[in-house]
Amino acid sequence: MKSRYLTKSRFKLALECPTKLFYDGKPEYPDQNDEDSFLQSLTEGGFQVGELAKCYFPGGYVINTIDYDEALRRTSELLRKDQVVIYEAAILFNQFFVRIDILVKNRQNFELIEVKAKSSDSDSDDGFLTKKGTILSSWHPYLADVAFQKYVLMKAFPDQAVNAYLMMADKTALCPTDGLNQKFKIVRDTDSHRSVSISPSLSIEDLAVKILNRVSVDACCDIVYQEQFGSADQPFSFASYLDYLTDHYVNDQKIISQPSPVCAGCQFRATEEESAKGLKSGFHECWREAFHCTDDDFKESTILDLWNYRKKDRCSLKAVLRYRISLKMI
């Protein structure tokens, strides 16, 4: 049976809502993000940025298999070298499994580099923090992701020093040549898996000026490690929250979360056509279990349906459930 690991993508999903771990990857629970063309275009842009980042760390070895065991075996073999660069390195500690975009080993030192299709105008982590020294909400998912990867790497290799970085587009850099993005083409194989083909015309001039900036985020990781996770009723430290998530995911146990207006963005929501085919809706299950909602309740519009209504996150559950909005008001 295929191992059930808490990966970095599942950890990020759990930060949105831990209940989503139960629905993730189950064909009976449709994931609307899989059909979102806009999100897919963002993913493709991420592939291109990732390939460009590898060009700034030449001579590396790519771990391109999706098989967990094979990826771990090949990574382990490469890490026997004193100095090595690995793309998509596979690291396992207990039931935590991560694939690191770029891992640089220099004897007893690791550099963990997470590549993001975002932009920054600074080479320091100041732009990620509020004036009070906490992490900005817009950056928190990305930095928590890196913190998770660093945690797994440190636990798997306790004798190694680990430094973590985010690598993103540098707003202040000027592209050294025209049409650089055209040299990183998205291609699909017969199974529709996406990858990037680098043009043989990519030149030294194309890479002469680095348009991606590497920012140290070790201090931000330390902030994440000190944060409280879970809920006010059931708080966890970072490490204990990982154990909590892993225990439930490995044993395929649903974590019951209190529904809230944030549920408006839940991707595990079956359409009428999918429900008619017997597929399940995670969103509807959560609200039925918590509030005994009926099918008629879901047919009526609520505050959750108002586009760009910025106060919905502060609405009480009573308001969400009982305050019905007529079509004329929408």
Q: For residue range 108-125, what is the model confidence (pLDDT) as tens digits?
A: 999 999 999 888 777 778
Least confident residue range of 79-83, 98-102, 165-169, 293-297 = 293-297
Is the pLDDT reported for residue 311 higher than 90? Answer: no
Higher pLDDT, 202 or 45: 202
- What pTM does this model have? 0.85
Residue with tokens 């690291």, as numbered in its chain: 91
pLDDT of residue 161: 98
Residue with tokens 């008619």, as numbered in its chain: 276
Name, in order, each residue with C-beta under 8 angstroms of 52's C-beta and a sequence gap of 6 or more.
180, 184, 211, 212
User: What's the pLDDT band for 328 if we cut at 50, 70, 90?
Assistant: very low
Q: For residue range 172-183, what is the model confidence (pLDDT) as tens digits?
A: 877 878 878 788
Helix (H) / strand (E) element for 291: namely: helix 282-291
What size, in residues, is the chain?
330
Q: Quick one: which of 224, 104, 100, 115 has its CA closest to 161?
A: 104
| Mean pLDDT score of the chain | 85
pLDDT of residue 72: 97
- Between the alpha carbon of residue 244 and those of residues 133, 203, 233, 272, 278, the distances in Å are 27, 49, 15, 34, 31
- How far apart are alpha carbons 305 and 64 in whole angstroms? 41
Mean pLDDT for the stretch of residues 140-162:
97
- How far apart are alpha carbons 50 and 98 in whole angstroms? 16
pLDDT of residue 314: 47
- The backbone torsions φ and ψ at residue 160, rounded to the nearest 5 degrees and listed phi first, read -100, 145
